[in-house]
Amino acid sequence: MNRETACEVYSRLLEHYPIVGERRHFIEFANPYEALIQTILSAQTTDRAVNAIHDDLFSRYPTPEALARAEPDEVEPIIHSIGFHHAKARYIVGTARKLVADFGGEVPRTMEELQTLPGVGRKTANIVLSHAFDINVGIAVDTHVRRVSKRIGFTNSTNPDIIERDLVALFPQKVWRDINYLLIRHGRAVCTAQNPKHDVCVVADLCRYYRVLQDQTELSEK
Ligand code: SF4
């Protein structure tokens, strides 16, 4: 897909899913520490599940220092409902300890430093940088971004690193944060994993997947 068509997709999605104020995130957080911990916890679960434990978790561990003093098995019961709680408890306690030991209790603001924290890969680092600091050095590729990007034709890959590379090449940096948000909204509402709603999709005429479907239908009718 060329940049002109990609930008037309962006414009239509933006019109369809208006961005109100500065909010482009789905997890609840009050500061960069909470954004980091919540994003680590959000792997392999829903934002709703993570938001449901927010108050309990951060009322007990309101700072990196407080969480660094905890043992993972103390944290596990609080995050039990989100799944993978053994590993995630180790990740967030380990991350809090490293924040205190290596970063003065502050969340670092670079991709490289963030990725030294337990449980933090490129996707998590992109989300934290974008939502906590409004620093956009890339585009977070989650399951929705991956699926919708491939279907529309932004990329030919299913590899998150290659998809991110393709997306940043297609869109100007000032909309990278918006593109992540809009593709997630579209993936949840319309371009769902099962039974995507092509008939109500505002970008159907620009979508590669839909075009192929139509071609196959026409061929089968001949
Ligand atoms: S036309 Fe279908 S596959 Fe393409 S973006 Fe819309 S819902 Fe997704």
42 neighbors 207 (Cβ within 8 angstroms)? no
Indicate whether 37 and 129 sit together in one domain. yes
Task: List the one residue out of 183, 153, 174, 173 whose CA is nearest residue 17.
Answer: 183
Q: What is the distance between the alpha carbons of residues 156 and 159, in angstroms, rounded to a whole number?
A: 9
Burial of 155 (0-12, 13-18, 19+ CB in 10 A): buried
Looking at 133, 162, 177, the residue that finishes a domain is: 133
Q: What is the distance between the alpha carbons of residues 42 and 59, in angstroms, rounded to a whole number?
A: 18
Q: What is the distance between the alpha carbons of residues 90 and 137, in angstroms, rounded to a whole number?
A: 28
State the average pLDDT for the chain: 93
Q: What CATH number is given to the structural domain containing 110?
A: 1.10.340.30
Q: How confident is the model at residue 22 (pLDDT cuts 50, 70, 90)?
A: low
Task: For residue 98, indicate whether it is catalytic.
Answer: no
Task: For residue 142, indicate whether it is catalytic.
Answer: yes
pLDDT tens-place string over residues 113-131: 999 999 999 999 999 999 9
Indicate whether 44 and 128 sit together in one domain. yes
Q: What CATH number is given to the structural domain containing 143?
A: 1.10.1670.10
| Residue-level pLDDT at 207 | 97
Q: How confident is the model at residue 219 (pLDDT cuts 50, 70, 90)?
A: confident
d(CA 154, ligand 1 centre) in Å: 12
Indicate whether 92 and 108 sit together in one domain. yes
* Residue 198 in contact with ligand 1 by CB distance below 6 A: yes
Instruction: Let me know if residue 158 belongs to a domain.
Output: yes
37 neighbors 67 (Cβ within 8 angstroms)? yes
Please identify which of the residues 55, 88, 98, 142 carries the catalytic annotation.
142
How many other C-beta atoms can be found within 10 angstroms of the C-beta atom of residue 216? 10
Q: Identify which of 5, 155, 190 to mutate to test ligand 1's pocket (most ligand atoms within 8 A of the CB).
A: 190
Q: How confident is the model at residue 162 (pLDDT cuts 50, 70, 90)?
A: very high
For the ranges 1-5, 94-98, 107-111, the lowest mean pLDDT is seen at 1-5
The total of structural domains in the chain comes to 2
* Residue 201 in contact with ligand 1 by CB distance below 6 A: yes
d(CA 18, ligand 1 centre) in Å: 19
How many other C-beta atoms can be found within 10 angstroms of the C-beta atom of residue 186? 26
Instruction: Let me know if residue 196 belongs to a domain.
Output: yes
Indicate whether 84 and 14 sit together in one domain. no
Give the residue, by CA position, lying nearest to ligand 1 atom 2.
198
Please identify which of the residues 88, 123, 166, 178 carries the catalytic annotation.
123
Indicate whether 154 and 168 sit together in one domain. yes
Q: What are the tokens at 145?
A: 């971004």
Indicate whether 127 and 37 sit together in one domain. yes
* Residue 13 in contact with ligand 1 by CB distance below 6 A: no
Q: Identify which of 186, 198, 205, 216 to mutate to test ligand 1's pocket (most ligand atoms within 8 A of the CB).
A: 198
Looking at 99, 133, 167, the residue that finishes a domain is: 133
- Residue owning tokens 């932004």: 154
Task: List the one residue out of 104, 105, 103, 124 whose CA is nearest residue 115.
Answer: 124
- Angle subtended at Cα 198 by Cα 195 and Cα 201, rounded to the nearest 5 degrees: 125
Indicate whether 125 and 201 sit together in one domain. no
Instruction: Let me know if residue 81 belongs to a domain.
Output: yes
Task: List the one residue out of 105, 99, 96, 104 whose CA is nearest residue 57.
Answer: 96
Q: Which residue range(s) make up the domain with 91? A: 32-133
Indicate whether 36 and 120 sit together in one domain. yes
* Residue 151 in contact with ligand 1 by CB distance below 6 A: yes
Q: What is the distance between the alpha carbons of residues 204 and 158, in angstroms, rounded to a whole number?
A: 21
Indicate whether 129 and 143 sit together in one domain. no
* Residue 210 in contact with ligand 1 by CB distance below 6 A: yes
